[in-house]
Amino acid sequence: MFRCRVRADREFRDAQREIQALLQTHTEMPWPDAPDPVAATTQDTAEAAPEADFLPPEFRAPSRQDVAGFMMRWDQPLVVDGEVRECPACGAYRNWVVLCLRDDSVWLRCRAGHTAREPGLDAAWYNRHSGPADYWHPTLEDGLRHLGH
């Protein structure tokens, strides 16, 4: 019983040594299709062509810093830290438009058009609860009209 285990351990160590030797030869051996690092650094950047698979500008989606913010509908009552949020002006507690601005602040807009900053929410909360952006609107009013406000 002990001899079988010693033999298995010896075979395992021998296999490990062979694998290490094989890996060592691969690190020293250059790849045939790899670019020469010296030639890559001396290549003129003005001659480099743009990536062929990169989208043209008219097909690229705007980044988070290219837009003023994101918005989504929130029809049910909004509960933050165990409290239902109400509009400070009219007392509405549902049918919100949640706005997440470029500075990661979150604002709530009620059906009546009152807007208030919500310090209990942040951009991470917005990203967890919103879906992907499906429309891009040039103005806030266009976005609100699209959401039914």
pLDDT in tens, 21-34: 877 776 666 666 65
More reliable by pLDDT, 48 or 73: 73
Instruction: Name the residue among 83, 104, 85, 105 with its Cα closest to residue 96.
Output: 85
pTM to 2 decimal places: 0.57
* CA gap 96, 115 in Å, rounded: 10
pLDDT at 50 over 60: no
